[in-house]
Structure 1
Amino acid sequence: MPQTNVSVIIPTLNAGTMIDDLLTSLEHQRRVPDEIIVVDSSSDDDTRDLVRRHPEVRLIVIDRKDFNHGGTRDMALRESSGDFVLFLTQDALPESDQYIDAVLAPFKQERVALVYGRQIPRADARPAETLVREFTYGPSSFTITPQDVRRLGINAFRASDVCAAYRRTAYLEVGGFENPVLTNEDMFIAARLLHAGWHVVYEAQAAVIHSHNFTWRQQYKRNYLQGVEMEKHRDILGSAPITGEGFAMVGHTMKGLLAQGRIIDMGSFFIDCVFRYVGNRKGKIDAKRAARRA
């Protein structure tokens, strides 16, 4: 791949406990980014002060009410200059100093438009969360092509802006992220790219440390928003159901917890899955009702 410019974009909100470590990690990558942009949603902690300790980092401050997952990222990308634009969330820490090298490597193939990386659970991740991450982000890399969409259905569009990189020309060709969008902007643009003939790569060597210990209420809200947006974007995603993949993940996690003798965790994870399912279903139902009233 010829010499190119690389931009990194990080949306933040009250990231004071983690942003300094993330920026330091990026500044010590073997392939140092040419540009780092932090888009802060008017944090009320010391996030902006910590960012300003890194003089090479560009800070853009927006009103909190103006943030949305697609529109804010799209604005930042269009403000950037990189031929390849990398997105990270504030709580995703590159596992090594070779993260940027690894996430860029698949772009040597000229039809690759999007590369997303592996998420390795934090040391404090609950046992179920660790198993879910291991199921979703395994150790083997793979490429999704347009020909794979019919076979894989909605699973072909799995991608995550927790740690992802985009070829600028491909991104602009398909119009960029949905705006506004509450969540899953990464899935929707992956679908658009594949429909346009581009390829999407999961690169397991591009790893970050990232996981969540969500409460049941947080899982419900998260999956409610996913249900809303996925219903609104059926024209992009097609009619393939997501339940098959969900059942496979549940089976993998339950078996892992049983093998570890974690019976209480099995019960807790079952309830967690109920909140996920109910939230997703309620989101879809509400989105359908809203569409009928429109």
Structure 2
Amino acid sequence: MLMDPICSLIIRSYNEEKHIRQLLEGIKCQTVIDSLEVILVDSGSTDDTVKIAKEYGVKVIYIKPEDFSFGRALNKGCKEAKGEFLLFASAHVYPLFKNWIEKMLYPFRDENVALVYGRQVGNEFTKYSEEQLFRKWFPVRSNYNQLIPFCNNANAVVRRELWESQHYDESLTGLEDLDWASKIQSKGYKIAYEATATIVHVHEETPARIKNRYRREAIALKIIYPSEQFSFFSFVRLTLANIISDSFHSIHDRQLFRQIGSIVMFRYMQFWGTYLGYSQNRYLNETLRKRLYYPNDLKRKGKVKAESKEITDMGERISYNL
């Protein structure tokens, strides 16, 4: 009799035929493939997303588009999963290394760790300002006892037993991951960040979709933190501050003239969407506020030796030939 898989990988998808094959190829290369099940929660794809998934032997379950929320899709996938650990990945990500899942599970040696999230980086198509967000949100050093509830379900794993006692909030329009992490952390559990478990997160969004993403997340954030405010002045101040910060870094990278249009567009849509979605929310932890909104410091540390060594130690890189 086969044992239940130790880890269940749950992928949410909608019309992801352009990206999902690369993710599934990366999963095939993982060191823990024999103790892994893969579940796709599809919310009405009209392209070949489901067909491609079935080619790889993925278990596909469905959610009606009109019933979709990020939390509901996750809960549906978790309910079908058999693993002790529930790993989440967006359909438009792919791992860089063969030990990605192994690294994601490593911090659970500590029984008080409830959630682990891994590093995200961009690719050659990533907008410059989004790359700056990745650098801020997903640093090169791991932290196995993070003090704020920040995480991201594009690359995260939780203990099944804790999900069973606390499901994802299906009413939220986004940030179901931060909400879950905040609640579980308040119960005394730890959140861990694993910098060596790296995936590439591909965002190819139009300006309107960028605005909608941050508007949706702001609507959720005002529910999670009911007294927080984001005024028009906040929109202007943070838009300008982040444009200045990104421009400074792009000068250092010798990309200002090539990137300035993208920088202005992205930051404007990010904070205009945030302004549209906000009303009053509860006070945000200042460290979390800085992680979500504030620009990178106007200093450059360069590629230090410690960072280079950490990247080298990540494991065997996957070679994609699609």
1:253 aligns with 2:254: no
SS in 2 for 1:285: coil
Given residue 171 of structure 1, which amino acid in structure 2 is its aligned partner?
W
Matches within 5 A, 1:259-274: 259-264=252-257, 265-274=259-268
Deviations 1:201-257 (A, max 9, x none): 11001100113243332221111111111111226xx7598x7xx788666533211
Q: What's the TM-score, normalizing by structure 1?
A: 0.83
Partner of 1:215: 206
Aligned residues: 270
The CA deviation at 1:29 is 0.7
Q: What's the TM-score, normalizing by structure 2?
A: 0.76
Given residue 44 of structure 1, which amino acid in structure 2 is its aligned partner?
T
Matches within 5 A, 1:156-195: 156-173=148-165, 175-195=166-186
1:142 aligns with 2:138: no
**Structure 2 portions without partners, runs of 5+:** 283-322
SS in 2 for 1:191: helix
Deviations 1:49-78 (A, max 9, x none): 1122123x2111222222110011011101
Deviations 1:62-99 (A, max 9, x none): 22222110011011101111110100000110111100
Matches within 5 A, 1:66-145: 66-144=67-145
Worse-superposed segment, 26-35 or 157-166: 26-35
**Equivalents in 2 of 1:281, 1:269: separation in Å?**
18
Indicate the RMSD between aligned Cα atoms, in angstroms.
2.6
The question of whether the paired residues in 2 share the 8 Å contact of 1:14 and 1:43 is answered with yes
The question of whether the paired residues in 1 share the 8 Å contact of 2:12 and 2:40 is answered with yes
**Equivalents in 1 of 2:139, 2:229: separation in Å?**
23
Partner of 2:47: 45
SS in 2 for 1:96: coil
Given residue 39 of structure 1, which amino acid in structure 2 is its aligned partner?
V
Q: 1:44 to 1:188 in 2, by over 3 A?
A: same
**Equivalents in 1 of 2:281, 2:111: separation in Å?**
38
**Equivalents in 2 of 1:287, 1:215: separation in Å?**
28
Report which of the two has the higher share of helix.
1
**Equivalents in 2 of 1:51, 1:27: separation in Å?**
12
SS in 1 for 2:278: helix
Partner of 1:276: 270
SS in 1 for 2:191: strand
**Equivalents in 2 of 1:171, 1:252: separation in Å?**
38
**Equivalents in 1 of 2:13, 2:63: separation in Å?**
10
**Equivalents in 2 of 1:128, 1:249: separation in Å?**
9
**Equivalents in 2 of 1:283, 1:68: separation in Å?**
17
User: Percent identity, aligned pairs only?
Assistant: 24
The question of whether the paired residues in 2 share the 8 Å contact of 1:29 and 1:98 is answered with yes
